[in-house]
Amino acid sequence: MPGRISLAVDVDYPPYAYVATPPEGDFTVAGFGTDVALGLMEVCPNLQISVRQTQWSQCWDGSTGLNSYGQGPRAGDGLDSGWFHGCMTYTHTTGVRNRYLEFTEGILQANKPAGIITLLDNGVPRVLPNSTLAGKKVVDVAGWAPTSDALALVTNKCTGGRYGGYEIVTPTEDGNDAAMAILRAGEADAMWIYADQAYNFQEGPGIIPTWNTTLWRGFGTEYAYIATGQSGHAYNGTTLAISKKGSGLASVLNPCIRAFMKTQSYHEVCAKHGQINACYPNEYFNTSELVAAAQAPYLKPTNEQTGDCSNGYCPCNV
């Protein structure tokens, strides 16, 4: 049955969602999520999928303030009101999101690890990798995964124990910049965030930064990860789309996602965006590229990191 589906995404999340410059695109919405979404029409020609830009808060509102119904974090107004059918590139996390949203199946494996960032003083982290975080203030990235409640579910890879006794600081604004500004200002000791987020925010060709690049400079000299490889915060990896619970969007898209992930086009999208390490391999992937991709530092738990913090990822014994 033919169907028109409108999917939305913000553009400050490379390589998953960004504004493309020529020759990839004339300042268009681009990224891994867009390429997979449009690729579904290759295997499901009866679908007509379009991608548009929105704000993340219109998809999932992570603010702690209550609305008129007494709700805190909740589905964004745009998603709840049907401005679009779904929003792209959300990790299927544990916790509150499942009470509001339904998720499609993953388009990337469940190896999107979380991590903890702290500032460095002459190469030494202000919070050490073996810390339990007791007595520390940890700033959460509001509106983004991993969600603050999941910090209690992950394990310190240096000690084998869980974190506890910390205070969560939630910015009044959603997004990574707001959280990093709080860390930089010394209003928090550490930040709970994706393990590849700072890595992906380093400036490079072909992408127009829509984040505060000044905040994210000094990776490995001014700040670094003291925890990586944190799992337990998610049920599944990056999904193609979230929608409001009961919408049925997942049941429409899932068969097409499965079919597309068997194609050569899926492999090409994975290679284009540097996601060989996270994609589900099919017959078009080769062993050498899979081995090389597995060496990405943000995929390694802290107890497998070596050297110092200069690459942005500290080992346990720093």
pLDDT tens readout for residues 263-309:
999 999 999 998 988 899 999 999 888 777 667 888 889 999 999 99
> pLDDT per residue over 99-114, tens digit each?
999 999 999 987 678 9
**pLDDT value of residue 62:** 76
Name the fold adopted by 114-230+298-304.
D-Maltodextrin-Binding Protein; domain 2 (3.40.190)
| Residues carrying CATH 3.40.190.10, the chain | 3-110+234-285, 114-230+298-304
**pLDDT value of residue 63:** 67
Cα–Cα dist 183/193, whole Å: 12
CATH superfamily of 3-110+234-285: Periplasmic binding protein-like II (3.40.190.10)
**pLDDT value of residue 285:** 94
**pLDDT value of residue 255:** 97
List the chain residues with pLDDT less than 50.
Answer: 1, 66-70
